Structure 1
């Protein structure tokens, strides 16, 4: 094989590795709704193929690219990856960049990817001011930075560093690094959309989880404790009076953890209230009518619900309940606790019989 053929073969291999790297980075965007996790995956994707150290800094205040930013530029380092032997400090917050030759400010001023000049010897002054000296004591001397732009504003800066013993980046390498920066923008945009949607769903859900009514002779307490950290979903509880001596209690769950689930929850909650107050009938009949309304309007195909009606006679309360796929109620007394398994679980749309528990 001639020298030219060897070089051509190596070039093909190198390009194949670049494409594989970019494919891994692109796939990282679909693994999580958490932008921090996506950015961490992007940082890892370029090490060691294109960098010995990769970081992502998110700006406290987004600014227009290609302009002079208000100083100091304040960032949080939210992602970092490096080869073995490189000092990887924990998450750094509130780093202040004064614009005196530092890479963060330079990336914003330039508005596009650039090579950041580094001193031939010693530690740059901006590294001393920002507490990142340890990074450069590991022999990292080549830096490329790129602004991450979302909706026309620089929201973050990614940096890529090489050890002084490694050859510098080629033009193809720089194009790949620029693509990684664009992927970072997609990750942050995903995060902004997700956070806005989650916030709306959370407001909607909490607006529906109202305080239970005050009923003489009863003490009603409600607790909602999300199983996941997102706190948003289609779970709900409700209690409302059907008359002076009747109280309805509802617990339901719409499948999902987003604004769609929260909206479906709101529709079902309002429908249950309307059906329960429309006429005097038992829990089974109410759930049957709810099933027909849900099916006719297409509110949600996946939901479970338990409806109980408490009726007072003198100083005693009688509870009748029916369940559509939901776990049975738990009766807790001074003598212990037990599940009320005598109830009927049924598929919505059928005609169940209600179970009664008298207390």
Structure 2
């Protein structure tokens, strides 16, 4: 506790710039060998029993180098500010030479007089590079003593030497701080970049939060708990692999212990900012308390996961260090806050993706045909969107029964795999149905009419398609088909052979075609399987289309005995990496 006469000195002693210099000097060992040598040199030259290189902090004086100081002060390396004569030098900013401190109004009540036998004092200021007084080079005698001018001058010169050493140490400490700050900034930037890259690589919010936990425990904390929207998502991760079983149990225990979870959320929702909190004492559930005790509950941060879109707290991350580790630094706290914001952005992206995907899936289902039930004809279809696009695309399939009992089947592909392609596909499919239904015309003629319709109605379509009509005959089926730039239909015969129905290429739908489209005819025995598909099933950018068709033929032969649904699944397995949509229509003819 400072006395009343010391209160006026506080503005000088508490100057932030001065204190920064004091603390930079005091970072090394105390006492310091170099400062000890200076103190010994002063004792020899001025013949005083006690000589000290003294650094004056706001609350104490640090004995950076000394000789003649008794224990316990010598062992502690410091004294309370109440025992300091040197603080008066710091406040005055100049040398003080006092023959008898008992007669000086500023010093006569100093406890060092009685406790240490200090009677005479002389101190010269030690300054930092900015001229601020950080301490003194001083001598103390246990008897009254008039300090001679030569002794004062000598002490002043040695204090200047000491000031030079101090300036070197401050410069070195400042350079080390700058280097550590740069390394810390680089580390934090690397951490933020890793978090961003990891979180943006998945649209699955649960996986994103698990990834976040792994990164945080590898780079920032010993263990963490991620909580989103109450108990809907709780995950825990520990740096120590031996704690994995505990961390796997923790979410279930935490979900049941709603009081503990709500404490986390309340803490961050109140201010929407990082909170330093002692949560260890608030864990009430015995099982949860046992796990957190084994994990090690030292310093902790509660970091809000904030939505940059809706400006609200979506959840929280509890970061915990074990007791033996130091507390989180201000830089780590700032980094944690930024990670919370980036995690919130990942959660919002996932939410928007799920919403858009749901809309896209509903749209796609509305555009794709519900296959009819036809006696003697079994239909199976699959549609898969491109993995690098939306959940909708321009591929389509269709099947319907004509009034005369024949069956029309079609598969087509509008260029693109996005919402616009899906919209064009819907128009094209409806035009095919509208033009073909009720007309006893060959598929080639139907596609020719479709070309004219597309041009007349200015439908911006460029599409491939296969259109086929299936009629029952006495011993099997008669199939007629037309192909507008589309991969060839495949026919799996009852004996396991596969036919590829190659025909001369014709232009895509929607492109100018000077000639009427042709129709091809095939006889199909009962028990055969006709396969229509889009190029996403066979096309590989690094191989010829023929190679993909042959791969599909091999899969057909190998799985000839499968049921309709199983055969569809097996055929999709041989598709190359999906950069395009896939539509598949399987027609089993009994």
Normalising by the residue count of structure 1, what TM-score does the alignment of the two structures yield?
Answer: 0.77
Aligned runs of 1:280-299 on 2, under 5 Å? 281-287=441-447, 293=454, 297-299=459-461
The question of 1:146 aligning with 2:311 is answered no
The question of 1:112 aligning with 2:268 is answered no
The question of 1:137 aligning with 2:307 is answered no
| 2: CA distance, partners of 1:83 / 1:219 | 60
How many Å apart are 1:337 and its aligned residue?
4.5
| 2: CA distance, partners of 1:254 / 1:39 | 38
How many Å apart are 1:288 and its aligned residue?
5.8
Aligned to 2:317: 158
Q: Secondary structure at the match of 1:336?
A: coil
| 1: CA distance, partners of 2:448 / 2:293 | 70
Aligned to 2:192: 22
Q: 8 Å contact 2:363–2:392 — kept in the other structure?
A: no
Q: CA RMSD in A?
A: 3.7
Q: Secondary structure at the match of 1:32?
A: coil
The question of 1:83 aligning with 2:275 is answered no
How many Å apart are 1:161 and its aligned residue?
1.8
| 2: CA distance, partners of 1:207 / 1:96 | 42
The question of 1:355 aligning with 2:523 is answered no
The question of 1:222 aligning with 2:354 is answered no
Q: Secondary structure at the match of 2:248?
A: coil
| 1: CA distance, partners of 2:505 / 2:290 | 65
Q: 8 Å contact 1:118–1:141 — kept in the other structure?
A: no
How many Å apart are 1:190 and its aligned residue?
0.9
Greater fraction of residues in helix: 2
Aligned runs of 1:1-359 on 2, under 5 Å? 2-59=172-229, 73-78=230-235, 80-85=236-241, 87-88=243-244, 89-90=247-248, 92=251, 95-99=255-259, 102-119=263-280, 124-126=282-284, 128=286, 131=288, 133-150=290-307, 151-215=310-374, 218-224=376-382, 226=384, 232-234=391-393, 235-253=395-413, 259=419, 262-277=422-437, 281-287=441-447, 293=454, 297-299=459-461, 304-311=464-471, 317-324=477-484, 326-348=486-508, 349=511, 353-359=518-524
How many Å apart are 1:37 and its aligned residue?
3.2
Greater fraction of residues in strand: 1
How many Å apart are 1:317 and its aligned residue?
4.0
How many Å apart are 1:184 and its aligned residue?
1.2
How many Å apart are 1:247 and its aligned residue?
2.5
| 1: CA distance, partners of 2:371 / 2:232 | 45
Q: Secondary structure at the match of 1:33?
A: coil
Change beyond 3 A, Cα 1:112–1:346: farther
Aligned to 2:559: none
Q: Secondary structure at the match of 1:318?
A: strand
Q: 8 Å contact 1:283–1:354 — kept in the other structure?
A: yes
How many Å apart are 1:344 and its aligned residue?
4.4
Indicate the structure (1 or 2) with the bigger Cα radius of gyration. 2
Deviates more, 1:183-192 or 1:246-255: 246-255
Change beyond 3 A, Cα 1:155–1:4: closer
How many Å apart are 1:24 and its aligned residue?
2.1
| 2: CA distance, partners of 1:6 / 1:288 | 80
Deviates more, 1:225-234 or 1:309-318: 225-234
How many Å apart are 1:189 and its aligned residue?
0.8
Normalising by the residue count of structure 2, what TM-score does the alignment of the two structures yield?
Answer: 0.50
Change beyond 3 A, Cα 1:111–1:183: same
Deviations 1:171-226 (A, max 9, x none): 222111111111111111111111111111222222333333455x6424224375
Q: 8 Å contact 2:298–2:325 — kept in the other structure?
A: no
Change beyond 3 A, Cα 1:257–1:288: same
| 1: CA distance, partners of 2:334 / 2:181 | 15
| 2: CA distance, partners of 1:124 / 1:319 | 76
Deviates more, 1:91-100 or 1:245-254: 91-100
Q: 8 Å contact 1:39–1:187 — kept in the other structure?
A: no
| 2: CA distance, partners of 1:290 / 1:32 | 42
Q: 8 Å contact 1:97–1:104 — kept in the other structure?
A: no
Change beyond 3 A, Cα 1:75–1:204: closer
| Count of residues in correspondence between the two structures | 338
How many Å apart are 1:116 and its aligned residue?
2.2
Q: 8 Å contact 1:86–1:135 — kept in the other structure?
A: no
| 2: CA distance, partners of 1:211 / 1:50 | 53
Structure 1 unmatched runs, 5+: 60-72
How many Å apart are 1:154 and its aligned residue?
3.2
Structure 2 unmatched runs, 5+: 1-170, 525-590
